Structures are given as C-alpha cells and as structure tokens.
Amino acid sequence: MRLAVFDLDFTVWQPEMYHLYGTPKLVPVDSYKFSDEEISESQTREDGHLLSDRGRIPIRIFPGARQALSEIQKMPQVEAAVASKTDEPRWAKVCMEELVIDEVKTTLADCFGDRIEISYGSKVNHLKRLQRKTGVAFADMCFFDNEQGNIRDVSGALPDVKCYYTPDGMTQQAWEQAKSDLVCRDI
C-alpha cells in the first residue's frame, strides 16, 4: 500500500456536510453540554474548542479514521488522500483545517496535503486524478467509502484498487483488513 484514499462524509467524519446547519465554527467546549465521546472525537487545533454547526452538532472524526491516519503519519512509504463528492467543499476544507487526529495537533489537512479531490462526479475520476498527481499505481491504492455505489463503480472500473465498504464510517477493522490485504499482495 502506498496510497490510502478516503471519502470524507460519513467515512472520515460525521455528520455529512448536508446535515449541517451552516458553516462549521469553533465553539468553546463549555458553551454547550457535549458528551465525553463527542469531545474526544471532535478535537481541534484550538484547545477547549470543538467544531460544530449553528445547531451545536459537533463534527466528529470516526475512531477508525483517526487510527488509520495516525498510523499513516508514521509510515513513510504510505500517503493519505481524499476522494469526496461532499455537497459543501468549503465546509469540508474548514473541517480539514481544524480537526486534529492526535495530541500534537496534526490536522486532517496535514494528513492529506495536496492529495485532495473534491468534486461531483464519479469516484473513478477522483482516483484517476490522484493517480496522475501522485504517480502511485492503482495496485498500490486502497479506497474507503461509506456508499456501496462508489465502491461498486471503483471496483468495476479500477479492479487493481482494493476497495473497502464502510457503511458505518471508517472502522479499525477496515483499516486492519486493508493493511493485511495489501501486505499479502506485496509478498
């Protein structure tokens, strides 16, 4: 594995952008009764603040996404990328710039760098653009998405890409399976 490609909405984070009431903004943790789980899954660059919409819905990174991205940061031969059709690309950018995956405040934007494809259309085209941008062969890519249609499209058009359906968000199990599958593929 050299490139792990993630959908954003309901794969890396929840809720999906179309469920939000307005642009995500930093709010003090003590300004509302957030649960301990919401606080732990919603860490931002600014201590004591969460990212939420006007309705006080916090944007939360799935634990499996946090684990995968944290591990990728320690794997010099592997990079992370985004393939997303989110309805609100500007809001997604805010989320990537503010949400962090670890105690040293590594943001999602730090994890993905310039390997971000956000636009309407087929995820196949997203992955093709990422392949041209990175030079990583499709056989060295894995793709995580919560929508079966995207998994089916990519699997059909790019059979060398190993795809993982994550209907309930990115899980630690999906990440462990991808690592196992792609290590076996390299042997």
The answer to whether the peptide bond before residue 63 is cis (omega within 30 degrees of 0) is no
Q: How far out from the chain centre does Cα 61 lie? A: 8
Report d(CA 96, CA 76) in Å as an integer: 21
Does residue 43 contact residue 114 with C-beta atoms inside 8 Å?
A: no
Burial of 17 (0-12, 13-18, 19+ CB in 10 A): buried
CB burial string 60-75: b at 16+ within 10 A, e below: bbbebbbbbbeebbee
Identified catalytic residue from 7, 53, 140, 145: 7
Report d(CA 156, CA 164) in Å as an integer: 13
**Catalytic site residue 9?**
yes
Active-site residue list: 7, 9
